[in-house]
Amino acid sequence: MLGSLQYVLGALSGTIVGFSLGLVGGGGSILAAPRMVYLVGVKSPHVAIGTSTLAVAVNALSGLAQHARERTVKWRCGECMRLQAL
């Protein structure tokens, strides 16, 4: 169980990662997982990796939803990229 200090450190760490993502545009999990292990105190690196990956995925989906509402997503282009990867 995490204490209140770990929650504060987690929020601060998340703010720093979010700010750096705004500057460079990527790499959220690679920045968040070590901070969760060494700064926040999450015992298992596997939990830290899974949690940070989930947070990045939720953030990406929310960005996709916002762009879809604004009609700035090129869905056909995404389909072409998916077919090329196969």
Query: How confident is residue 58, by pLDDT bands cut at 50, 70 and 90?
Result: confident
Q: Are 48 and 42 spatial neighbours (Cβ–Cβ below 8 Å)?
A: yes
The domain limits of the chain are 4-85
φ, ψ (nearest 5 deg) of residue 70 = -85, 0
Calculate the average pLDDT of the chain. 81
Cα separation, 6 vs 18, whole angstroms = 18
Cα separation, 4 vs 2, whole angstroms = 7
List the beta strands (DSSP E) in 1-86.
none
Query: How confident is residue 7, by pLDDT bands cut at 50, 70 and 90?
Result: confident
The structure's pTM equals 0.61
What percent of the chain is predicted at pLDDT more than 70? Answer: 85
